[in-house]
Chain A
Amino acid sequence: MIEVRALAKSFKVFKRPAGLGPAIRSLFHRKFETVEALRGLSFDIAAGECVGFLGPNGAGKTTALKILSGLLYPTAGTVRVGDFVPQNRETAFLKNITLVMGQKQQLLWDLPPAETFAMNRAIYDLPRREADETEALLVELLDCKELIQKPTRQLSLGERMKCELVAALLHRPKVLFLDEPTIGLDVSMQARMREFVQKYNQTFGATILLTSHYMEDVTALCPRVIVIDKGRLLYDDTLRALTRRLRPERHVAIRLSAPVQSVALPPGASIMRQTQSEFVLSVAIDQINDVVRFALAQLPVADLTIEDPPLEDVMRGLFAEGKTA
């Protein structure tokens, strides 16, 4: 569905230090520097996949999404989305995709979201019945029926984001580029958005490329991640494999039903955190069975959970690895 080959994008950026002197000098002599946002990026995404697109600030994620959605022309390399070359911006291509940016909006500011929906129905030339059904479904999934008649400017950020998604998905795009769709939302709203994206992916079989700095979004939605830094590909595989490679240990959290003063741990386990009623152990993956058996036999266990290390830790490890590579 998405094919990216040796994608490069550079920008010419005007540069001058702060202050009056440099401002006056810049009238006569301007200094430009070339910023290479993407440097030979390649990857493929199959139809129906939901892929996390990760990287630190300035990695080139948004630039890549803008090229994929046809907003920017690549400096070099090729991109295909379905049967289309995005920068040609053919009508059929635009009717098949959407780009949602958490920090930007397409809703008409002074009119109720319902007017933006009406405009999009007309622009996408949607059959009335299909548009009615889709709008009703999206409004129900996002629980925003009460919001769509109020002027957009009077809605909160989370409310606007719900309506933004309805507007962006009214034409049932097959490919979704989601750039920080949960940014600035509270925890419950983030969870709701995640649920919604998952349902949309399942209901319509849509292909989704998602960037987010909230690792919960990625963990919940994306079995596969593509990680880039400074415009280069750092990693492209499953989230699980990434975790295994960089942090080949699991976290075993044991809640105790009675206090324990000390415990002699089996080999391969170390204590990360300990209180009188709880242990959190870091355990080598091949020792998990032994440690769990030991805990259940030797300790008054009330509850026991096994988790991967937090994705934030994994990503930190990957970026550190990328810097030293």
Chain B
Amino acid sequence: MGLASTLRAYPTLLRIGLAQMIAYRAEFLIWILTTNMPLVMMGLWTGVAADGLVGRFNQRDFIAYYLAVLAIRILTNNWLVWELTMEIRQGALAARLLRPIHPLVAYSAMHLSALPIRALVITPIVGVLIWSSGDLLTAGDPAMLAVFVSSIAGAWLILFLTMLIIGTLALYIDSAMSVFDLWLAIHFVLSGYLVPLELLPSWVEPIAMALPFRYTLAFPVEILIGKMSLEVGLSHLATQWMFVLGLGVSASLLWRAGMRRFVAFGG
């Protein structure tokens, strides 16, 4: 399908995706609300910071950090790996492959269509963030805001492409979900989900910098709460989009090769 036809089809795909999302609204909301670990960590670290600074963080910084983590995590997370693994194992992917639109375009529309509801869910969190830490936020500076918005788009793409790559592994190995579990464990540490990266041992820093995890969460969070200068932010943004490009190429190659192995069992 050409680019023009894809663009013409995309609004309908987004509308249908949203309609499906609304059909599952209770399940979807519960799934989103299970993302509560940042609140636990916020309680823990504000307690630790009661006696003074922890690195560069005081109590208000921790509150701002974890509220931003929670909001950005809810906004950018996706469930593609479960969906793709199931569709490959059960052969349901066949129905998508028969349509003259690339399945990855269809998946992207379905996941992007969740954004309005996700945005709705994070509205109160963002409200509390502004109320509690409005003076720390950099969103008033147009340049920082532009970097932040771009970093959110980059984070969404890195997560989407990573889930795509892991899900596509179901074409090669019996259980891609175990790979996902491993990825998730590393992601929790190296993305800044549990602890701000600068509070981790110093030897972790170069590892975190060389891997894409930090660009899914810590980078946009640090931009938002003023823990990163514009200059450093722009440099990180360039690195983030290099990861997007690399993951996009890898996902495409893996998908093409994997299609030769698709057996469409049961479908």
Q: Please report A residues at the B interface, Cβ cutoff 8 Å.
A: 11, 66, 69-73, 89, 91, 94-95, 97-99, 101, 104-106, 108, 110-111, 115, 118-125, 151
A99-B98, A125-B1, A125-B5 in contact; A119/B13 too (CB < 8 A)?
Answer: yes
B264 within 8 A of partner (CB): yes
Q: Let me know if A110 and B264 touch, CB within 8 A.
A: no
For the complex, give the distance between the alpha carbons of A224 and B99 in Å.
Answer: 29
Q: Is A123 a contact partner of B267 (Cβ separation < 8 A)? A: no
Which of A11, A95, A106, A151 has the most B CB atoms < 10 Å from its CB?
A106
For A66, list chain B residues within 8 Å (CB): 94, 264
CA distance A213 to B24 in the complex (A): 37
The residue that B100 contacts in the complex, of A106, A121, A123, with Cβ under 8 A, is A123
Contact assessment for B262 and A72 in the assembled complex, using a CB-CB cutoff below 8 Å: yes
The answer to whether A104 touches B94, judged by C-beta atoms less than 8 angstroms apart, is yes
Q: Tell me if B16 counts as interface (CB < 8 A to partner A).
A: yes
Indicate which residue in A70, A106, A118 contacts B16 across the interface (CB closer than 8 Å): A118
Verify A71–B262 contact, CB threshold 8 A. Answer: yes
Chain A positions within 8 Å of B259 at CB level: 73
Residues 1-52 of B contacting A (Cβ, < 8 Å) = 1-2, 5, 8-9, 11-13, 16, 19-20, 23-24
Chain B residues touching A, range: 20 to 34
Q: Are B267 and A125 in contact (CB under 8 A)?
A: no
A72 CB to closest chain B CB, in angstroms?
6
B98 touches A94 (CB 8 A): yes
Distance (whole angstroms) from the CB of A270 to the closest CB of chain B: 47
User: From B1, which residue of chain A is reached at the shortest CB distance?
Assistant: A91
Contact bitstring B160-193, A, C-beta under 8 A = 1, else 0:
0000000000000000000000000000000000
Give min CB distance, A22 to chain B, whole Å.
16
Besides A106-B95, A115-B16, 18 other A-B contacts (C-beta < 8 A): A70-B97, A70-B98, A72-B263, A73-B260, A89-B97, A91-B5, A99-B98, A101-B267, A104-B94, A108-B16, A108-B20, A111-B16, A111-B19, A111-B20, A122-B8, A123-B9, A123-B13, A124-B99
Q: Are A110 and B262 in contact (CB under 8 A)?
A: no
Does A118 lie within 8 Å of B12, measured CB to CB? Answer: yes
Query: What 5 A-B pairs are tightest by C-beta distance, nearest first?
Result: A122-B12, A110-B23, A94-B100, A122-B9, A106-B95
Whether A94 touches B99, Cβ cut-off 8 Å, given contacts A110-B24, A122-B12, is yes
Instruction: Report A16 CB to chain B, min CB distance, Å.
Output: 13
